[in-house]
Structure 1
Amino acid sequence: MRSFLKYCKFSDFPIENLPYGIFTAPGKLKPRIGVAIADSILDLNEISQLFDGPELKKHQHVFKESTLNRFMGLTPKAWKEARSTIQNILSEDNPVLQNDDILRKKAFTRQSEAKMHLPAQIGDFTDFSSSIHHAKNAGNLFRGKENAIATNWKHLPVAYHCRASTVVISGTPIHRPYGQAVLEDGGLPVFGPSKLMDYELEMAFFVGGTNNLGEPIKVENAQDHIFGFVIMNDWSARDILSWEYVPLGPFVSKNFSTTISPWVVTTFALEPFKTDNYPQEPEPLSYLRHSDNFNYDIHLQVDVSPKGDTMSRTVCRSNFKNLYWTPKQQLAHHTITGCKMNPGDLLGSGTISGESPESFGSTLELAWKGTKPRNLLDGSQNKFLQDGDTVTMTAVCKGDTYNIGFGTCVGTLLPPKNIY
């Protein structure tokens, strides 16, 4: 597959990718739906009339929106037709856009000149715990080795509801939050800025389509409600978390900020990179079983740049395929009660850790709850995040002839606001 736009062989955004995002072009006030191709953004608002296939001819208006919600609310047939149309428009054999200088000038914006926004209006946000290696590590630290994995963990995808209002786009700085924490075992809580700030390497998917209240999304149909994936950093205040999480789980230790990457990579783009599902023992209950593979070989990396340091340090290399529970199982369990999902709802994977220390997806694990310095891959050491640290997460599927990239998920930790 060849595009008339030129890019290097292993660009994040080849014609095989075509992720969706929301951007503002220079001189334009209204955010628009765009598709990343090479180092540019194709403005779908400017070419909406070209979506004239049987699924989209009556829905061209969705490409004139300022969020992806209405497009996400269409069917997989419509999503597939949109992808095919865009690939055709960008093909080196199609003159419609390639040979129209006026339309080309209007339709393309350089990524470096665009301002990115949240891809959708996020109505609800749920975060799962789906990596068995992270669950074991966290369980060892908080409950001890004998009770590391909770009794229910291998029977259902555990999760908690989060704050959609504090999900922010990559590049948005965050402030160290305030909260209660216990500094010594058996001591009384104190109030102040978190001392143990952490990142969490995650992926998340946006829900597409909808279901009626009271009607579960069955696991065999769940893929029809998974629009696409982003990188996610679910920032965590570990000292606040360890004090508050019993008995109801995380609260203010997790609700202050969650960062996501701006480009939503569709399941169509990820199809060639499917891999075996993680072996599950015991076999889950029937409503969670599916025989088709819905796991992906996505290489994940975390880099940390201290304040004033131009050199980033790689602290983690992990992979999406380390997830025990698949996105289909997450969605099926979420709706088993008949919970209604809406286009643009966001479901996070939970921290994605591998078996070895260099693949641990959080500082909690790398620094073993602060009891030892984390060993960075460049040989240096550190513990939890310091003010001014910038965390950069990347994700890429590596193919023989092309890559599928997700861009970057970046956030800088700022000092606490002086309000108390």
Structure 2
Amino acid sequence: MAPAATSESASEPTPLDRLDPLDLPEGHPFGPHNLPYGVFSLTEDGSGDGERSVGVRVGDHVLDAGAAAAALGSPYVSVLARPSLNSLLAAGRTTWSDVRRALTAWVTVPAHREVVRPFLHPLSSVTLHLPFEVADYVDFYASENHASNLGRLFRPDEEPLKPNWKHLPVGYHGRSGTVVVSGTDVVRPSGQRKAPADPAPVFGPSVRLDIETEVGYVVGVPSRQGTPVPLSSYRDHVFGLCLLNDWSARDIQNWETVPLGPHLGKSFATSISAWITPLDALEAARVGPPERSVPLLPYLDDSGPEAAADPAGYDLRITVTLNGQVISEPPFSGMYWTGAQMLAHMTVNGASLRTGDLYGSGTISGTEDNERGSLIEITWNGQQPLDLPDGKRGFLEDGDVVTLSAWAPGPDGARVHLGEVTGRIVPTT
């Protein structure tokens, strides 16, 4: 809790600038039970272009983890005094746990306070950057509700799910170079589009720009090419989770997607949160997968006692806002395919992992109308537009701001907040 007022102002609250940033209210969603990682630079000069450092969020402050490690004589300077998270990601599970224990001590043990306090910076005084160098990006399609909704929309006379959907996690290889940090404007993409009744395609800005509410998995430890990663090794390779918005130009995507799948309709921008929540912070949120209705091949089969003891699903409660209005609250706990299964499938052909690989869950949708994770579902392909205070929306308009936020159950009833991801649509250049 905050310290008591000093004698000179006993009758007045302690000014905010004199509160100890380490005195957080019990259960603060960014308290010591969370400690997500990011990369920041100081903004005293107004540019935010200064030296980048690994930071750890503590309440409404950012701890310069590398500087604190150096001041405390920590052996983890080598992975924390860096301009990105990649060195820490590559260090492996034992180091991840050891560093987390050290950080927890630095922000909770009174003996460390005087050393650590100078390296805490208010969030308002920093610029947050893309937290790691993205190697490869793969996006999956792991929500049965989302896949079924799109099947009903576009194939009303067929079964909603394609025959392969419950046998393997369907996915595509995306573009790592256009992954951007939360707060980055998204330029409306241009490309070819053709409505079913049009005689020929036309070129121009997308008129059906959409969101995809997702969770991203950040890979730390690489794997050897030719060696698949089994389900049991998920936690040895995946460092943590982030929120992800895979912006989608539905009109461009629909025209180009046959026969090879998404390309320009997806590759223009993918936004991720500035904070990566380590898996160790999500222990209390772990849940098992839903009941399987189709037997799985051995490399994907998570029905055994080992999987039950080490579940790879997560109870994340997500909120989607459009221009400040809540439009959906998709639950992540009901995803059909887990992060472990996606990783196993992604590597079963011998494809190697690299430090900084990112893979997305695909759009998260629940069973209820207010749990759909994309506008194409929420508005039923524009047929049932949202009625917002600033007008109706079938798809996104220029100037629209979309924010994804989420929390997960933490220890002793606390909540673990994930860093939000926000993007604003700007006109085609």
TM-score (norm 2): 0.89
Taking the TM superposition and a 5 Å limit, the aligned residue runs for 1:80-99 are: 80-91=97-108, 93-96=109-112, 98-99=113-114
* Alignment match, 2:266: 254
Q: Which stretch of structure 1 is more off in the superposition, 280-289 or 253-262?
A: 280-289
Residue segments in structure 2 that go unaligned for 5+ positions in a row: 3-19
Change (3 A) 1:99 1:76: same
Separation in structure 2 between the aligned mates of residue 380 and residue 275 of structure 1, nearest angstrom: 39
Separation in structure 2 between the aligned mates of residue 112 and residue 283 of structure 1, nearest angstrom: 51
CA deviation vs aligned residue, 1:277-317 (integer Å, no higher than 9, x gap): 12222121111122231111110010001xxxxxx111100
Separation in structure 1 between the aligned mates of residue 29 and residue 390 of structure 2, nearest angstrom: 28
* Alignment match, 1:337: 349
1:354 aligns with 2:366: yes
1:397 aligns with 2:402: no
RMSD: 2.1
Separation in structure 2 between the aligned mates of residue 410 and residue 201 of structure 1, nearest angstrom: 11
Shift of 1:408: 1.3
- Percent identity among equivalent residues? 36
Which amino acid counterpart does residue 104 of structure 1 have in structure 2?
R
> SS of the counterpart of 2:91?
coil
Change (3 A) 1:239 1:275: same
CA contact (8 A) 1:366 1:375 kept: no
CA deviation vs aligned residue, 1:89-135 (integer Å, no higher than 9, x gap): 111x3312x134xx522x11111211011111001100000000000
Residue segments in structure 1 that go unaligned for 5+ positions in a row: 306-311
CA deviation vs aligned residue, 1:166-221 (integer Å, no higher than 9, x gap): 11110011111111111343531111110111111001010011111111111111
CA contact (8 A) 1:390 1:411 kept: yes
Shift of 1:4: 7.6
Choose the corresponding residue for 1:288, options 300, 316, 325.
Answer: 300
Which amino acid counterpart does residue 99 of structure 1 have in structure 2?
E
Shift of 1:338: 1.3
Separation in structure 1 between the aligned mates of residue 220 and residue 407 of structure 2, nearest angstrom: 23
Shift of 1:239: 0.8
Shift of 1:334: 0.5
Which amino acid counterpart does residue 125 of structure 1 have in structure 2?
Y
CA contact (8 A) 2:93 2:235 kept: no
Separation in structure 2 between the aligned mates of residue 121 and residue 265 of structure 1, nearest angstrom: 16
Shift of 1:383: 1.2
CA contact (8 A) 1:14 1:403 kept: no
Which amino acid counterpart does residue 48 of structure 1 have in structure 2?
A
Change (3 A) 1:407 1:36: same
* Alignment match, 1:309: none
* Alignment match, 2:50: 29
> SS of the counterpart of 1:155?
coil
Taking the TM superposition and a 5 Å limit, the aligned residue runs for 1:246-325 are: 246-290=258-302, 291=307, 292-305=310-323, 312-325=324-337
Separation in structure 2 between the aligned mates of residue 219 and residue 313 of structure 1, nearest angstrom: 39
Change (3 A) 1:207 1:51: farther
Choose the corresponding residue for 1:118, options 130, 134, 142.
Answer: 130
Change (3 A) 1:145 1:270: farther
Separation in structure 2 between the aligned mates of residue 117 and residue 379 of structure 1, nearest angstrom: 31
Separation in structure 1 between the aligned mates of residue 153 and residue 257 of structure 2, nearest angstrom: 14
CA contact (8 A) 1:176 1:416 kept: yes
Which amino acid counterpart does residue 41 of structure 1 have in structure 2?
V
> SS of the counterpart of 2:423?
strand
CA contact (8 A) 1:14 1:402 kept: no
* Alignment match, 1:141: 153
Shift of 1:270: 0.2
Aligned residue-pair number = 401
CA deviation vs aligned residue, 1:215-269 (integer Å, no higher than 9, x gap): 1111111221110011001000011111111111111000101111000001100
* Alignment match, 1:308: none
> SS of the counterpart of 2:296?
coil
Change (3 A) 1:239 1:165: same
CA deviation vs aligned residue, 1:353-412 (integer Å, no higher than 9, x gap): 001110000000011111222366x99853111111000110111455321011210000
1:167 aligns with 2:179: yes
Which amino acid counterpart does residue 299 of structure 1 have in structure 2?
R
Shift of 1:48: 2.3
Taking the TM superposition and a 5 Å limit, the aligned residue runs for 1:366-377 are: 366-374=378-386
TM-score (norm 1): 0.91
1:326 aligns with 2:338: yes
Shift of 1:337: 1.2
Change (3 A) 1:187 1:296: same
* Alignment match, 2:120: 108
> SS of the counterpart of 2:38?
strand
Separation in structure 2 between the aligned mates of residue 51 and residue 333 of structure 1, nearest angstrom: 42
Which amino acid counterpart does residue 111 of structure 1 have in structure 2?
L
Separation in structure 2 between the aligned mates of residue 120 and residue 173 of structure 1, nearest angstrom: 19
Shift of 1:145: 4.9
1:17 aligns with 2:34: yes
CA contact (8 A) 1:4 1:90 kept: no
